[in-house]
Amino acid sequence: MSNTRQLQRLDREHHFHPFTDQGDLNKRGTRIISKADGVYLWDNEGNKILDGMAGLWCVAVGYGRKELADAAHQQMMELPYYNSFFQCTTPPAIKLAEKLADLAPSHLNNVFFTGSGSESNDTVLRLVRHFWSVQGQPERSLIISRKNAYHGSTVAGASLGGMTYMHRQGNLPIPGIEHIDQPYWFEEGGDLTKEEFGKQRAQQLEEKIIEVGAEKVAAFIAEPIQGAGGVIIPPDSYWPEIRRICKKYDILLVADEVICGFGRTGNWFGSQTFEIEPDFMSVAKALSSGYLPIGAVIVSDRVAKVLKELGGEINHGYTYSGHPAAAAVAIKNLEIIEQEKLVEKVAHDTGPYLQSRWRELASHPLVGEVRGLGLIGALELVADKKARTRISKGGKAGSLCRDFCTANGLVMRATGDTMLISPPLVINTSEIDELIGKAKKSLDDTLHAISDGVLEA
Ligand SMILES: *Cc1c(COP(=O)(O)O)cnc(C)c1O
């Protein structure tokens, strides 16, 4: 079974991949990843690859952590599964809820467990509307989100998200969701300064609230930094203005922390980095470093009080809410993050080091902007640095660069012509040097290929 050709054939015959053009994939064949350790992956052919994306933004503590495998093993031997319905729960679910309440900003102390980030946002949609409904305002149900946001791939997650290519399939978004423009200065800022632009984009929230009527608006949802949309870091003027507007109209503020949560930006949560003060935080991904699937919604005291006093039975939950083995792994994962001081390292050591080295790439002829914070970063590929014009339509330069990265032993992701990195939080400085070296070489390879006319074919 280790024969790559044979595995690829079976994959082609039986396996539908997520976010994939299956016909195209089948022509090219899948890349089979068969083992991993630390920040490295190995494919089935034995090629070693530096994982600049921590899987899908999730493997915070790196691969091969025996402590996490042991935590799962021990819990599975003791109690592999029980639910949190019908007045029951399990010790790991209780302990993880307490741990999350402890780590979260002080006004967030209640936790609803889910199986993923998408499910967390489904839960948010239900709870937000229920919150207003039980207070006699059922018409207050509209949720405002942003274009190019990513909130997952379930019906509610994709609807809250602002990806038009996702909306085009399956008649999305569902009713009751409005999208305003994103704070993406490089792509949409024109001649405005970043600060002017950030404020203007935040003020679209107020315009939308006035347009639809504040008495109809339940919540605003946003990622502190848009991840899948292209690591879009809002200008400093953005979040304070959003906060002001939510307060003024008494709109619930939801921070989708599925990527920013658990240290990525140098604080436990992106909400702390940007001083967001949310009513809800959706988390998943680095909560368990991806070792087992688990997510959560962390709820503010204000919301929890209403739900406990007036909410009655909440007719919502998942078979795997608070899954004991996943919760045990999450607890151990959070302990590792604490013991190894990974959040502090991202803030004061590896984060600043990565950012200073990442910014060296700004001098490359293809790079129009370099941005990043903590251990997350983006590069914009351009034809003209000053005019911020793209090389060709349809993100072809980004795909080309990503393929060179893979060939050079680095996983870097492309969203259109924006190159993204989000390495494991355990990455050290020499591994960061390797990442930068491989990124540089891949940019050079991309430049040569473009000069040779590959994108014109
Ligand atoms: C990945 C992601 C999700 C969805 O999480 P899944 O576990 O894939 O369902 C939601 N929000 C953000 C910001 C994400 O990055």
DSSP string, 41-77: EEETT--EEEETTHHHHT-TT-B--HHHHHHHHHHHH
Give the number of the atom of ligand 1 that is nearest the alpha carbon of residue 153. 9
- 153 DSSP 8-state letter: S
Ligand 1 center–CA 236 separation, angstroms: 24
Peptide bond into 173 cis (omega under 30): yes
Q: Which two tokens stand for residue 432?
A: 């960061």
Ligand 1 center–CA 15 separation, angstroms: 22
Please provide the average confidence, as pLDDT, over all residues in the chain. 97
Q: How many C-beta atoms lie closer than 10 Å to residue 214's C-beta?
A: 14
Give the number of the atom of ligand 1 that is nearest the alpha carbon of residue 115. 7
222: helix, coil or strand? strand
Mean pLDDT across 291-313? 97
454: helix, coil or strand? coil
Give the number of the atom of ligand 1 that is nearest the alpha carbon of residue 121. 10
Angle ∠(441,226,174) on CA atoms, nearest 5? 130
What is d(CA 156, CA 160) in angstroms, rounded to the nearest whole number? 6
- 266 DSSP 8-state letter: S
Ligand 1 center–CA 334 separation, angstroms: 19
CA 108 to chain CA centroid, Å, is 20
Give span(s): CATH 3.90.1150.10, the chain. Answer: 31-61+343-451
Q: Is the pLDDT of residue 224 over 80?
A: yes
Residues 86-134 pLDDT 10s: 999 999 999 999 999 999 999 999 999 999 999 999 999 999 999 999 9
Domain 67-339, CATH number (from 3.90.1150.170, 3.30.9.10, 3.40.640.10, 3.40.190.10): 3.40.640.10
Residue with CA at minimum distance from ligand 1 atom 14:
258
Give backbone dihedrals phi and psi of 368, rounded to 5 degrees, phi first: -95, -30
This prediction's pTM? 0.97
Give backbone dihedrals phi and psi of 320, rounded to 5 degrees, phi first: -100, 15
Q: Which two tokens stand for residue 4?
A: 């790559």
Give the number of the atom of ligand 1 that is nearest the alpha carbon of residue 117. 5
Mean pLDDT across 195-224? 98
Q: Mind giving me the DSSP string for 189-208?
A: -TTS-HHHHHHHHHHHHHHH
- How far from each other are the two terminal CA atoms of the chain, in whole angstroms? 38
Ligand 1 center–CA 78 separation, angstroms: 30
Give the number of the atom of ligand 1 that is nearest the alpha carbon of residue 260. 13
Ligand 1 center–CA 158 separation, angstroms: 10
- For residue 230, the model assigns a pLDDT of 98
- For residue 457, the model assigns a pLDDT of 64
Give the number of the atom of ligand 1 that is nearest the alpha carbon of residue 284. 7
For a pocket test of ligand 1, which of 59, 116, 123, 153 has the largest count of ligand atoms closer than 8 A to its C-beta?
A: 116
The residue to which tokens 């933004």 are assigned: 57
Give the number of the atom of ligand 1 that is nearest the alpha carbon of residue 227. 15
Among the listed residues 225, 337, 224, 345, the one whose alpha carbon sits nearest the alpha carbon of residue 288: 337
For a pocket test of ligand 1, which of 113, 119, 150 has the largest count of ligand atoms closer than 8 A to its C-beta?
A: 150
Give the number of the atom of ligand 1 that is nearest the alpha carbon of residue 118. 9
For a pocket test of ligand 1, which of 59, 118, 232 has the largest count of ligand atoms closer than 8 A to its C-beta?
A: 118
Q: Give rounded-to-5 percent helix, strand, coil for the chain.
A: 45, 15, 40
The residue to which tokens 């990525």 are assigned: 264
Among the listed residues 47, 54, 46, the one whose alpha carbon sits nearest the alpha carbon of residue 435: 54
Angle ∠(377,369,285) on CA atoms, nearest 5? 20
Ligand 1 center–CA 48 separation, angstroms: 27
Ligand 1 center–CA 225 separation, angstroms: 13
Q: How many C-beta atoms lie closer than 10 Å to residue 11's C-beta?
A: 16
Residue with CA at minimum distance from ligand 1 atom 5:
117
Q: How many C-beta atoms lie closer than 10 Å to residue 338's C-beta?
A: 14
Q: Is the pLDDT of residue 407 over 90?
A: yes
- For the packed helices 91-103 and 324-339, what is the interaxial angle rounded to 10 degrees? 40
Ligand 1 center–CA 455 separation, angstroms: 32
The ligand 1 site (C-beta within 6 Å) comprises: 116-118, 121, 150-152, 223, 227-228, 256, 258-259, 284
87: helix, coil or strand? coil
Residues 150-205 pLDDT 10s: 999 999 999 999 999 999 999 999 999 999 999 999 999 999 999 999 999 999 99
Q: Which CATH architecture has domain 31-61+343-451?
A: Alpha-Beta Complex (3.90)
Residues 339-356 pLDDT 10s: 999 999 999 999 999 999
What is d(CA 125, CA 284) in angstroms, rounded to the nearest whole number? 16
What is d(CA 398, CA 341) in angstroms, rounded to the nearest whole number? 34
The answer to whether the beta carbons of residues 387 and 191 sit under 8 Å apart is no
Ligand 1 center–CA 258 separation, angstroms: 6
Residues 81-92 pLDDT 10s: 999 999 999 999
Kindly state the percentage of the chain with pLDDT values over 70. Answer: 99
CA 410 to chain CA centroid, Å, is 20
What is d(CA 457, CA 73) in angstroms, rounded to the nearest whole number? 53
Give span(s): CATH 3.40.640.10, the chain. Answer: 67-339
Rounded (10°) CA dihedral 126, 118, 120, 37: 180
Ligand 1 center–CA 151 separation, angstroms: 6
Residues 6 or more apart whose Cβ sits within 8 Å of residue 161: 145, 149, 150, 151, 152
